[in-house]
Amino acid sequence: MEVKHYTDASVILEKYGSWLKEKEMEHNLILGLLGRTNEGYYEGVNCYVVVDEGKPVLFSMMTVPAINLILSEGGVSGLEFLANYLSKNGVELPGVVGPIDAVKRFIDIWHGISDKRFIKAMDQMIYVLTEVNMPNNIEGKWRLAENSEIDTISQMLYDFAVEAMPIAERKTLEKVREGVVKKLDKKRIVCWEVDGVLVSIVVFYFESGMSRINNVYTPVKCRGNGYASALTAAASQYLLDNGSDMCCLYTDASNPTSNSIYQKIGYRFVTDSIQYLKEV
């Protein structure tokens, strides 16, 4: 076995895209990030692929700037090769996310060869939807977000991160705003509006095969009215109507409210995931 390092998202997709799509639902995060790197959302990408006799065994990647090392399904036999390669080459790992068995095994190996320690940050669940169960009788309507709403949306996404994301992954309000500008330009934020007021937002990433729903957020004072359910359902239907075969999202496994919401509108559980972050 050997580890190959790639930095061109287009080359990576051409060379390994078909292999990743054999388990498209499980690899939706990897495929989505590679696609967004090609669109300029990230400065670059670092992919580390363990190959055996020229065939991929294990795929891993990090965006630039790095947030997490993302591990693919399978390839447990390649984890030791990957960990040793990254350690010997001085690659910094802010966090590790992926299938539970693979991530835990990787962390065990890493703790045996490095003094850098990791702690569990979140248990996650991956859901997929192919048909929407639309909620009824929810006050308001959905629509694409507008450029004039950048400040409101930036604050909402910042509040979402404070509430739902590990500290190490949170960005400043200024950095959040920079991302919102790009997302609004690509028309990738939708909102639920009641009497002209934004009461819920959803970020999505469109792919012809599988689209991703992200950052579902309703301010505390607006909760309990079904806005997030209605908006997530509407956004999912919008993606299906515009050429996506299915929609995918990650949830915090410890949040029964959000998991229940997604299941009621048609999302079904696919697999578990887990995230570890570097100990500080």
pTM value is: 0.86
What residues does 52 pair with on adjacent strands? 55
Per-residue pLDDT tens digits for 54-94? 899 999 999 998 889 999 987 788 999 999 999 999 999 99
Supply the pLDDT for residue 138: 95
Q: Where do the domains of the chain lie? A: 2-116, 129-271
SS3 72: coil
CATH code at 129-271: 3.40.630.30
Supply the pLDDT for residue 168: 66
CA dist., res. 53 & res. 223, Å (int)? 54
Query: In Å, how far from its chain's centre is CA 263?
Result: 18
Query: What is the chain's pLDDT, residue by residue, as a tens digit (280 residues)?
Result: 899 999 999 999 999 999 998 888 889 889 888 988 888 778 899 999 999 988 999 999 999 988 899 999 877 889 999 999 999 999 999 999 999 999 999 999 999 998 889 999 999 999 999 999 999 999 999 999 999 999 999 999 999 999 888 776 778 999 999 989 989 988 999 999 999 999 999 999 887 678 999 899 999 999 999 999 999 999 999 999 998 999 999 999 998 888 998 999 999 999 999 999 988 7
Supply the pLDDT for residue 220: 94
DSSP assignment, residue 203? E
170, exposed or middle or buried, with CB in 10 Å at 0-12, 13-18, 19+?
Answer: middle
- C-alpha radius of gyration, the chain, whole number: 19
Contacts 24+ apart (CB under 8 A), 17-22: 19/56, 19/59, 20/59, 20/72, 21/209
CA dist., res. 247 & res. 262, Å (int)? 11
Supply the pLDDT for residue 102: 94
Identify which of 102, 63, 64, 55 has the alpha carbon closest to the alpha carbon of residue 83. Answer: 102
CA dist., res. 228 & res. 56, Å (int)? 40
For the chain, counts of helices (H) and of strands (E):
8, 12
Question: Whose structure tokens read 């693979």?
Answer: 102
SS3 11: helix
Supply the pLDDT for residue 209: 79
Q: Which amino acid is at 60?
A: S
Question: Whose structure tokens read 């050997």?
Answer: 2
SS3 71: strand
Identify which of 223, 234, 221, 225 has the alpha carbon closest to the alpha carbon of residue 189. Answer: 234
For the chain, percent helix, then strand, then coil, each to nearest 5? 40, 30, 30
Supply the pLDDT for residue 37: 87
